[in-house]
Amino acid sequence: MPTAAYVFGNLVPSSTYGEIDIFPKGSVGTATPTRLTSTDLSVLGGILAVSPSGTVVGSGACPPCSYTLVEFSASAIGLNATPTAVINYPGHPNASPLVSPGALAFDKNGYLYAIQGAQSVPSEPASIFIINPGGSGSLSGQYQTIAGSSTMLSGVNQSGLAVDASGNIYAALEPSTGAPYVAVYPPGEYGNVAPARVISGSNTGFKMPGSIGVSAGGTLYVFDTQSQEVFVFAPGANGNVLPIAEFQSPQMPYSSPMAVDASGNVYAYNLTNLSGPQALIVFDVGASGFVAPAFSITMPTYLGGDSGGPSGIAVAPP
């Protein structure tokens, strides 16, 4: 396997509490992961991100709904781990404004990005939070947001988030009516900022874009959960553009999360064998058409998820 991969599931399919398994670079076949377990992790939501320093952030457990997100430093990873930082849930006495983010990403400087505000939860302000390294508790004075009428975030389901090496922010967005799109926001700008680019239209192939990722060179990967295809776009893509490549595999179903490493390898999850061993699957750079994964890592039998597989995948930053 080209780089270390982090897989977020729960201890058994009926468990409330989450587990993150870390598979080292070079893993192939049956591999033994490093396990991160905590009663403060929840598979509900199951979102996951890894910082350049190896800090892991995942969904907070609910109940008891004390924390929206929990953070573990690289040195805190292990069984029955205690978070090194937490971001408080709105019901907490010292509440934060971050309610239930739908996706997470880190930039190269360790800032955490979180997107929230689905159509189904109109009480959550549609926004992208940019949280300072080490941000915790109520987040008072520790974050900025992208929010407002010009952002194209309101009234849409937000299912994917990524930040490239230059600090551009990518969000996969699905409005209740009209075509879905990927909005790209310029680095270093906050508030009611319009996207610098919007990738949308019939040429893109988008039907229901979900997880997204960006390589170190700025190539954008979008997993469309309806067509079950990965669409690949050239750096700087804008408007109604054709992908430069697209691929699909019978081992990568609609519900799979996806991650992309710096080189452009694509990591997903094989959910086609719910009655037997499941696997983390990796597609090579340049995958095109109807392809089989280049690598496969068998998952431990104790690591399940809401529908039999994990809810989040992340890769180690370069």
| pLDDT tens by residue, the chain, 318 residues | 789 998 887 655 445 677 888 999 988 888 888 989 888 887 666 789 999 999 999 988 766 667 889 999 999 999 889 999 999 987 788 889 988 888 999 999 999 999 987 654 555 668 999 999 999 999 999 999 999 999 999 878 778 999 999 999 999 998 877 899 999 999 999 999 999 999 999 999 999 998 999 999 999 999 998 888 999 999 999 999 999 999 998 777 666 689 999 999 999 887 655 555 578 889 999 999 999 999 888 877 655 544 456 678 999 887
User: Which has the closest alpha carbon to 263: 185, 184, 199, 317?
Assistant: 317
CA distance 146 to 312: 24
For residues 200 and 240, the answer to whether their CB atoms sit within 8 Å is: yes
Domains, the chain, in order of start with CATH, read: 5-315 (2.120.10.30)
Residue 277's CB: how many other CB atoms inside 10 A?
Answer: 12
* Phi-psi map region of 11: left, alpha, beta (phi>0 left; psi -120 to 50 alpha): alpha
What is residue 242's predicted lDDT score, i.e. its pLDDT? 98
Confidence (pLDDT) at 216: 96
Q: Which residue, among 258, 263, 184, 182, has the nearest Cα to 216 in the 3D structure?
A: 263
Structure token digits, residue 189: 């700008």
CA distance 170 to 159: 11
CB neighbour class for 149 (10 Å; exposed up to 12, middle 13-18, buried from 19):
exposed
Q: What is the pLDDT of residue 307?
A: 44
